[in-house]
């Protein structure tokens, strides 16, 4: 087989795989969008491309007195913004310490980060539930934020630490010769150079509260404290509920803040996703 023919077959195979994955991803999204535009409330008789489409379900979510959707949306934004900000900040300080300092227990600390990544946070939910109940943070957004921030540290700190390792230490030494201290080196040299990986960490931590259901289900009890995933679940879970089209409309709107943050951080994401684990 000639090299040109082999390259052509490889290209066809690659685009075929991409096409199949595109259909697999796009098909449920189109169904969700079409379902949200169907005028009825149930799945029976719904069409992926409705002939008599309507925005009545979106209007109900925002303007109905019986809808708590805006409250859930606000709660999700609060949790997402706080988690993204605090997790990114703590991860930066932790990664900087492990990357630039040499101290007793450093190696064991890195091993602990690797070990903690192997176990999902749900394995500790009984202990976390008891702890939050003991300190009075059960059924609060603050308690949920603390769990998200704590769970983000091991994986993200190891990732950012690898990125910091790829930044030449000669920059630190030059700054020290000019009289710069550790904090000035951290804020004025390392952080500007680490914007790509910080954008990745911020985006991932912002997305998690919008998509996570299990943790809010365990921690939150009051409807006024629900996040979007938990609140929308009750549309189709409560007894005699038949709000699948409203559920679909609410699900579609979850993508709006995530897409906005993604577009805002887009110029940093490509280089950040390809970095971080180059050195360890």
CA 150 to chain centre: 14
The structure tokens listed for 210 are 């919008």
Tell me the C-alpha distance between 204 and 273, whole Å: 11
> How many residues are recorded in the chain?
280
Tell me the C-alpha distance between 172 and 82, whole Å: 31
List, for residues 209-229, the tens digit of each pLDDT value. 998 898 999 899 898 999 999
Mean pLDDT of the chain: 85
Contact 219, 138 (CB under 8 A): yes
Residue 1: pLDDT over 80:
no
**C-alpha count within 13 angstroms, C-beta hemisphere, residue 231:** 26
Backbone angles phi, psi at 49, to 5 degrees: -120, 90
CA 271 to chain centre: 18
pLDDT for position 276: 42
Band of residue 148 on the pLDDT scale cut at 50, 70, 90: very high
List, for residues 194-203, the tens digit of each pLDDT value. 888 899 899 9
Q: Collapsing DSSP states into helix, strand and coil, what is residue 280? A: coil
Give pTM, 2 decimals: 0.85
List, for residues 47-83, the tens digit of each pLDDT value. 777 778 888 889 989 988 888 999 999 999 999 999 9
**Contact partners, residue 161, CB within 8 Å, separation at least 6:** 94, 95, 98, 99, 110, 280
Comparing 280 with 21, the larger pLDDT belongs to: 21
* Share of the chain residues as helix, strand and coil, in percent rounded to the nearest 5: 75, 0, 25
Tell me the C-alpha distance between 93 and 99, whole Å: 10
Q: Collapsing DSSP states into helix, strand and coil, what is residue 59? A: helix
Tell me the C-alpha distance between 187 and 169, whole Å: 15
**Contact partners, residue 201, CB within 8 Å, separation at least 6:** 87, 88, 91, 152, 156, 159, 160
């Amino acid at each position: 087989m000639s090299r040109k023919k082999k390259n052509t077959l490889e290209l066809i195979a690659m685009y075929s795989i991409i096409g199949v994955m595109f259909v697999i991803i796009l098909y449920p999204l189109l169904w969700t969008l079409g379902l949200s535009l169907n005028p009825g409330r149930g799945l029976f008789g719904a069409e992926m491309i409705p002939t008599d489409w309507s925005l009545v379900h979106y209007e109900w979510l925002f303007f109905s007195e019986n809808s708590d959707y805006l409250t859930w949306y606000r709660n999700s934004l609060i949790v997402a913004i706080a988690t993204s900000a605090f997790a990114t900040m703590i991860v930066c300080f932790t990664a900087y310490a492990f990357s630039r300092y040499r101290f007793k227990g450093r190696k064991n600390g890195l091993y602990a980060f690797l070990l903690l990544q192997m176990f999902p946070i749900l394995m500790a939910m009984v202990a976390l539930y008891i702890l939050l109940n003991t300190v009075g943070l059960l059924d609060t957004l603050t308690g949920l934020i603390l769990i998200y921030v704590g769970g983000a540290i091991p994986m993200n700190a190891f990732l950012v630490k690898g990125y910091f390792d790829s930044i030449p230490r000669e920059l630190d030494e030059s700054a020290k010769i000019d009289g710069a201290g550790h904090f000035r080196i951290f804020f004025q040299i390392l952080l500007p150079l680490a914007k790509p990986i910080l954008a990745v960490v911020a985006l991932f931590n912002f997305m998690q509260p919008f998509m996570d259901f299990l943790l809010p289900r365990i921690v939150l009890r009051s409807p006024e404290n629900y996040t979007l995933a938990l609140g929308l679940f009750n549309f189709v879970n409560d007894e005699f509920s038949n709000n699948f089209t409203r559920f679909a409309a609410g699900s579609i709107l979850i993508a709006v803040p995530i897409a906005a943050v993604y577009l805002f951080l887009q110029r940093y994401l490509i280089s950040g996703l390809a970095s971080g684990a180059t050195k360890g």
